[in-house]
Chains A and B, each alone.
Chain A
């Protein structure tokens, strides 16, 4: 198995004079769920479309599953994509359309039909299997689009804004569905909703002006293993005593919001150990409302990109 499912090196794509991808280099580890985060026009969609072979790059190298750039003869059925702003054929019915897609991928008729039915039912479309696409709501169509990506268990799945337009209940269900594929498939998600990314992804890449501005594991970017925040009920009476309770860590106290932040080396001391040392010292001085591990992705992103 390749270490990287997708490797793009110095990819350049221009629309007229504007560079959408400007020497874009990114290696996606096999089995990870990668979130692409960035402002509008940063190049997230362009990168996905280029990897899927819809767009022709001006320069650069793409290596998909260790077998060169996208080639339908090599990669059909192994890579799928949920493209942004692409309608399904309106006269088609979800079950027959997905069965057709499955068969194009090389599945046998019965296998394709069963896979299509199961996916549609999983995404709560069991009662609309034979309804024309044109009669489905926006959210339902989005779920059909999502279902077609997982037909036949492809190795790489690219999802461009997969949860936009879904109601909160369906969005939560779809998040769980995508997260359940962790380590089984390589999934890349582009989204402006950082909460979605945080819930689902294992890795995150910040994209800006056609380049990767930062790439890393989610836990690393959000400091889940190196930062604890204690939300206190009152000011601690002796901050120095707290520092002595937890040597090797750095404490910062925000008086206005009554938050005590503890930064530490996660490799030397795991968060559980820090918590076990610091918590009795805090409770001896004041009350505690809650504890948070690290930052939210939104906060980490805004801090990083400001």
Chain B
């Protein structure tokens, strides 16, 4: 059995073992409920906004939620407003014309991905280190295969959660829009955004699982994961402030490249080069973080 087959074997069992655990079922349900309620609330809010816009801008009235938004997308003042929000003309250009429901889901998926990763994956490695269960595997396969297998297994698990969330969001959105007389086909769109959120989550997964190699306690690993997310957010804010000004502006540019959220903007793009570059960077970043944790684990007593 070669290196990759062993990784796949560990990953498949890890996913299989994780998905039937009570913790995983609870987290999947919570994520699904959040996606469904989030989508439901967003559609209600969208309806209200559209009603207000119709009144304010004296646009033709429509029963179809999202249709007015599509009209609005085409208006120059609205585009200027979104441009000021996104601060990126290219992103604005790419997402213009997309159904609002798709964008709402995308925003939700990107927002929740890091937290989902912490809740799903932070405890898996410390649980086995703490209970000693790791010892039944690392004389059958190398520590590298074990670590990578765990990472891949959790990546599958996160993909399942995002997929289930996308399905739930689609069902609710389709039902609400169908009640309003509309039947837009955006399931593939949601799946596509889900896939992007998954790619985004891989970097966080590497970070969280890399850190989880450092402790035997699942609770400590979860806290470490949350702290890492907070640190990433703070650094990202600081980097976006200081990268244009100050003596260390160049340093901040490089620091920003080490933070997964720095690549989020490119994941909103529909042009292949930035999307592919950001995806590759996020995957590489995830592996680098995991490798740092593994470097510690490789030499430690278990």
Residues of A within 8 A of B (CB): 49, 52-56, 70, 72-73, 75-77, 79-81, 83, 85-92, 100-101, 103-106, 145, 148
Could you tell me if A72 and B143 are in contact, using CB atoms closer than 8 angstroms? yes
3 closest cross-chain pairs (CB), A and B: A86-B132, A72-B142, A104-B140
Interface residues of B in 101-145 (CB under 8 A from A): 128, 131-133, 135-143, 145
Could you tell me if A103 and B20 are in contact, using CB atoms closer than 8 angstroms? no
Could you tell me if A86 and B139 are in contact, using CB atoms closer than 8 angstroms? no
Could you tell me if B299 and A56 are in contact, using CB atoms closer than 8 angstroms? yes
B13 CB contacts on chain A under 8 angstroms = 100
| B10 close to A (CB within 8 Å) | yes
Could you tell me if B140 and A87 are in contact, using CB atoms closer than 8 angstroms? no
Task: Report if A72-B20 is in contact (Cβ < 8 Å); known contacts: A54-B302, A87-B133.
Answer: no
Could you tell me if A105 and B140 are in contact, using CB atoms closer than 8 angstroms? yes
Measured CB to CB, the nearest residue on chain A to B141 is A104
- Classify the secondary structure of A's interface with B: loop
Whole-angstrom distance between the Cβ of B139 and the nearest chain A Cβ: 5
Could you tell me if B17 and A104 are in contact, using CB atoms closer than 8 angstroms? no
| B21 close to A (CB within 8 Å) | yes
Q: Told that A55-B301, A86-B132, A106-B1 touch, could you supply 5 new A-B pairs with CB distance under 8 A?
A: A54-B135, A87-B133, A91-B20, A103-B1, A104-B10
Could you tell me if A53 and B20 are in contact, using CB atoms closer than 8 angstroms? no
Q: How far is the CA of A150 from the CA of B137 in the complex (A)?
A: 14
Task: Report if A79-B17 is in contact (Cβ < 8 Å); known contacts: A56-B299, A87-B131.
Answer: no
Question: Can you offer 26 A-B residue contacts whose CB atoms are under 8 A?
Answer: A52-B135, A52-B139, A53-B138, A53-B139, A54-B138, A54-B301, A54-B302, A56-B300, A72-B141, A76-B140, A79-B139, A81-B135, A81-B139, A83-B135, A88-B136, A89-B131, A90-B131, A91-B20, A92-B17, A100-B9, A101-B136, A101-B137, A101-B140, A103-B1, A104-B141, A105-B140
Q: How far is the CA of A106 from the CA of B132 in the complex (A)?
A: 22
Q: How large is the interface on B (under 10, 10 to 19, 20 to 34, 35 or more residues)?
A: 20 to 34
| B6 close to A (CB within 8 Å) | yes
Task: Report if A87-B9 is in contact (Cβ < 8 Å); known contacts: A56-B301, A72-B143, A104-B137.
Answer: no
Whole-angstrom distance between the Cβ of B133 and the nearest chain A Cβ: 5
Q: How far is the CA of A76 from the CA of B10 in the complex (A)?
A: 14
A105 CB contacts on chain B under 8 angstroms = 140
Q: How far is the CA of A56 from the CA of B138 in the complex (A)?
A: 14
Q: How far is the CA of A138 from the CA of B132 in the complex (A)?
A: 16
Q: How far is the CA of A227 from the CA of B145 in the complex (A)?
A: 54
Among B21, B137, B140, B143, the residue within 8 A (CB) of A77 is B140
B141 CB contacts on chain A under 8 angstroms = 72, 76, 104
Which one of B135, B139, B143, B300 has the highest number of Cβ atoms from chain A below 10 Å of its Cβ? B139
A87 CB contacts on chain B under 8 angstroms = 131-133
Which one of A55, A88, A100 has the highest number of Cβ atoms from chain B below 10 Å of its Cβ? A100
Whole-angstrom distance between the Cβ of A97 and the nearest chain B Cβ: 8
Could you tell me if B136 and A148 are in contact, using CB atoms closer than 8 angstroms? yes
Interface residues of B in 203-232 (CB under 8 A from A): none
A77 CB contacts on chain B under 8 angstroms = 140
Measured CB to CB, the nearest residue on chain A to B140 is A104
Task: Report if A88-B138 is in contact (Cβ < 8 Å); known contacts: A100-B13, A104-B9.
Answer: no
Q: How far is the CA of A93 from the CA of B50 in the complex (A)?
A: 54
Task: Report if A91-B139 is in contact (Cβ < 8 Å); known contacts: A54-B301, A104-B6.
Answer: no
Among A72, A80, A86, A103, the residue within 8 A (CB) of B133 is A86
Interface residues of B in 138-162 (CB under 8 A from A): 138-143, 145
Measured CB to CB, the nearest residue on chain A to B300 is A56
B302 CB contacts on chain A under 8 angstroms = 54-55
Whole-angstrom distance between the Cβ of A149 and the nearest chain B Cβ: 10
B301 CB contacts on chain A under 8 angstroms = 49, 54-56
Whole-angstrom distance between the Cβ of B289 and the nearest chain A Cβ: 23
Whole-angstrom distance between the Cβ of A156 and the nearest chain B Cβ: 10
Q: How far is the CA of A86 from the CA of B135 in the complex (A)?
A: 7
B145 CB contacts on chain A under 8 angstroms = 72
B1 CB contacts on chain A under 8 angstroms = 103-104, 106
Q: How far is the CA of A104 from the CA of B136 in the complex (A)?
A: 11
Measured CB to CB, the nearest residue on chain A to B142 is A72
Q: How far is the CA of A80 from the CA of B20 in the complex (A)?
A: 28
